[in-house]
Copies of this chain bind each other. A is one copy, B any other.
Amino acid sequence: MEKPKTIDFQHINHNHADLTVIEKQQQLPFSVQRVYWLTNVPEDQIRGNSATKYGKRIVACIKGEVTIMLEDQEGNVFKFVLDNPNSGLYIPNLYWSEITFSADSILLCLVSNSFDEDDYIRDKENFQALSQANG
């Protein structure tokens, strides 16, 4: 099973601005089929609360700070804090995610597949049961 891992993007400081880059040939482990961003999330609201059967994601905190709790189907928990726009997190499929936002934070997600509600598991007991069914 693939493990989540932090990713250091390319970072260029140019004319006092920060340019952060992720390229397919380098840090991108999949073709991007979907991109989304979350803005205006109320502080301390927990987002995610789901896992995907197939979809893989790279997430980046473009502004502010987000805390990402991931749990695999055996109950192993991984915690990541993203607090700068130059590093991100690779989230494989089959990880339950809970994402907490600090005020005014912005999360960018690059996703390996198109949206399909059938790809999402939104009930944690179902997520855990899926493992036992396959175990």
**Chain A residues at the B interface, C-beta cutoff of 8 Å:** 15-25, 28, 31-42, 45, 47, 60, 62-63, 85, 106, 108, 110, 114-115
Q: Is the CB of B37 within 8 A of A17?
A: no
User: Given A23-B33, A108-B108, 10 more contacts at CB 8 Å?
Assistant: A16-B40, A17-B45, A18-B40, A19-B36, A19-B37, A20-B37, A21-B34, A25-B33, A39-B63, A106-B106
Residues of B within 8 A of A85 (CB): 37, 39
Closest chain-B Cβ to A114's Cβ sits at a distance in Å of 5
Identify 24 residue pairs between A and B in the complex whose beta-carbon atoms are under 8 Å apart, listed by A's number.
A16-B42, A17-B38, A17-B39, A17-B41, A17-B42, A17-B45, A17-B47, A18-B40, A19-B37, A19-B38, A21-B36, A21-B115, A22-B34, A22-B36, A23-B115, A31-B31, A31-B32, A35-B110, A37-B108, A39-B85, A62-B63, A62-B108, A106-B106, A108-B108
Q: Copies per complex?
A: 2
Residues of B within 8 A of A39 (CB): 17-18, 20, 62-63, 85
Complex: A28 Cα to B35 Cα, angstroms: 10
Complex: A52 Cα to B56 Cα, angstroms: 31
Q: Is the CB of A38 within 8 A of B18?
A: yes
Closest chain-B Cβ to A94's Cβ sits at a distance in Å of 22
